[in-house]
Each structure stands twice: as structure tokens, then as C-alpha cells.
Amino acid sequence: MSGKPGEEGAGTPREGTPRVARAWRPEGTRVRVGQVEIGGPGFVVMAGPCAVEGMEQTEQTAAAVASAGAHVLRGGVFKPRTSPYSFQGMGEPGLRVLAEAARKVGLPIVSEVMDAAQLPLMEDHVDILQVGARNMQNFALLRALGKLRKPVLLKRGMAATFQEWLLAAEYVLDGGNEQVILCERGIRTFETATRNTLDLAAVALAKQRTHLPVIVDPSHATGEPDLIQPMALAAAAAGADGLIIEVHPRPEQALCDGQQALTPERFAQLMRRLPGVLGAMDRHLWMPELPAHVVGAR
């Protein structure tokens, strides 16, 4: 199969067109979280620590990313770690820390769910449920998410083809949950100079072939702070609908992914540079719509 949804081999549902296909909703899907809209003209930035480590770290990061203009707070409390001896996340107490930090700065939350059994707990605190790269083909989890009416951020598996990524999204849509955001986070290739290889062509292709919002994670895609800003700006130029970026106030002390964390200062610099690139694409950073009477009075 060529990778084009709707062609032979896609396992097409009843109507003959996969639900992820652009033809299903040519105008594009917009996913709402609180006031924020992902997939419209506004570009949405999600930022925060890889892992929630405690109240002070989470609140400091939340305050920093919010004041730099981020729209959604990220933070993992269930961490899929390569080694069973690495920090596995704070679990349930971490969710309360994350929720409190987000409430103080008024941002919605994106956080990773590793298992369907965690959903009842997470549903109460989290606005966007992230499916990590390692779980992209956890079909039981995808089916469970299909039953919810809550946005899902679906990361591309590290060895998943474009087609496999879209079919994973299809599982969630087929269950009736249409609030899916695709996230390109780099794939594993022969190249070892960067943590992964960022497939920006897949971002532009996903925008053409599907109606779903597509965002980019330059943190896991590169694993290297110096490469995050250039790849974030390139993602904006490639037509992504947003970014998800890891930020830590003291990267050298981070319990997870500190080597790729941006400091708050570097994150703020990126936020200042994004509007220039977005402007060239006739887009802008997402901002709340002003009520008609305010717009009229300007």
C-alpha cells in the first residue's frame, strides 16, 4: 500500500473511506481544549517538564512557560522508561501536583496515559490524553480512548510508517472519538547523531491526507537543546498546527530527559521567534478571540 488512506489495504470501514482521510472532513478538524483551539489558524504551543517531579519544579515550569506564552502545560506522571530502574513518574500524586500547577496559571493539561486502567483517574485531571510513541499500537488502549469524548494526542511510534500512524488514529476515530491530534516526534533511522530523525515531510503529508491537527515534538525528535529551536521553526514553516516542547528550570537536575530540556529562557526566545515564521505562513500564535464589541471598539 502506498500510504494513502482510502487505498487498498487500509482496512477501510463501512463507508469505504477511512475516518482519518481528508475527504471525510475537507474543512479540517479543530480540537478544543478549554478555550484553546488546535487545528485552526492559531498555532498552539504545549510546554512543560518531561516528568512531574514535585510541586516546586512543576509550579516554576508552569509559571515560566505560561508567561512566555505557552497555551497548554505538559507533564508526565506515568513515564514509559527504557530501563525499569529509571524514575517511573510520580503516578497519582503527580497528577494532583500537575493539576494544581496548571490551575494556578490557567492552562489546560496534556499528560501521557500508558494503560487503559489509568483512564478513570486521568480523565478527572487531564484535558488531553497523550499516547506515547511506545504505545502507538497498543490497540486495547486506542479502543478505550475511542470510547471517550476527550482529546487524544497520538504520537507516532518510533518505527511506525506513516500509514501505521494514521491507522492507529483510525482506531480512536472508529470508536467515535474524533478529537485526535497527530504528533510527529521523530523516527528511528540509521542516523545516530540525533536522538531520532524528524520527519517533517510526514507532517506536511499528514496535513494533506488527513483532516486531523498535526503537531511536532522537536524535543524527542532531536534530543538536543541546540536543535530544538531550528526544528520548531521549521515545523511551523512546514504547516504544523503546533508544538510540544520539554522545559525544565534546572535541566541538569531533571529526573527524566534533562539532556534535551530547554531552559525557560531558551523557551521564551523560541516563543519570540515563532510569530515571524508563522506570519510568513499567514498564521499566528493562538490567542483568545476577542468578543465582537471589543473588536468593534478598537
Q: Which residues bind Mn ion (CB under 5 A)?
A: 50, 257
Nearest to Mn ion of 185, 283 (CB atom): 185
Which of ligand PEP, Mn ion, none has residue 207 at its interface (CB below 5 to 8 Å by kind)? Answer: none
Q: Which residue is nearest to Mn ion (CB)?
A: 50
Asked if 260 contacts 222 with a C-beta cutoff of 8 angstroms, the reply is yes
Q: Residue 185 CB, nearest distance to ligand PEP (Å)? A: 4
Q: Residue 132, interface with ligand PEP (CB under 6 A)?
A: yes
Q: Residue 244 CB, nearest distance to ligand PEP (Å)? A: 7
Asked if 263 contacts 251 with a C-beta cutoff of 8 angstroms, the reply is yes
- In a 10 Å sphere around its CB, with 0-12 CB exposed, 13-18 middle and 19+ buried, how is residue 155 labelled? buried
Query: What string marks each residue from 39 to 68 as x (binds ligand PEP by CB under 6 A) or -?
Result: -----------x------------------
Nearest to ligand PEP of 18, 251 (CB atom): 251
Q: Residue 80, interface with ligand PEP (CB under 6 A)?
A: yes
Nearest to Mn ion of 210, 222 (CB atom): 222
Q: Residue 195 CB, nearest distance to ligand PEP (Å)? A: 9
Q: Residue 220 CB, nearest distance to ligand PEP (Å)? A: 4
Which of Mn ion, ligand PEP, none has residue 185 at its interface (CB below 5 to 8 Å by kind)? Answer: ligand PEP
- Rounded to whole angstroms, the Cα distance separating 52 from 270 reads 22
Q: Which amino acid is at 268?
A: A
Among 22, 155, 195, 209, binds ligand PEP (CB under 6 A): 155
Among 10, 70, 133, 214, binds ligand PEP (CB under 6 A): 133
Q: Residue 8 CB, nearest distance to ligand PEP (Å)? A: 30
Nearest to ligand PEP of 50, 141 (CB atom): 50
Which of Mn ion, ligand PEP, none has residue 132 at its interface (CB below 5 to 8 Å by kind)? Answer: ligand PEP
Nearest to Mn ion of 49, 151 (CB atom): 49
Q: Residue 257 CB, nearest distance to Mn ion (Å)? A: 4
- Between the alpha carbon of residue 1 and those of residues 7, 8, 201, the distances in Å are 7, 6, 18
Q: Residue 247 CB, nearest distance to Mn ion (Å)? A: 11
Among 19, 22, 71, 185, binds ligand PEP (CB under 6 A): 185
Q: Residue 146 CB, nearest distance to Mn ion (Å)? A: 25
Nearest to Mn ion of 50, 169 (CB atom): 50
Q: 70-99 burial string, b = 16+ CB within 10 Å, else e?
A: bbbbbbbbbbeeeeeeeebbbeeebbebbb
Q: What angle do CA 114, 261, 271 make, to 5 degrees?
A: 105
Chain residues that interact with ligand PEP, rule: CB under 6 A = 50, 76, 80, 132-134, 155, 185, 217, 220
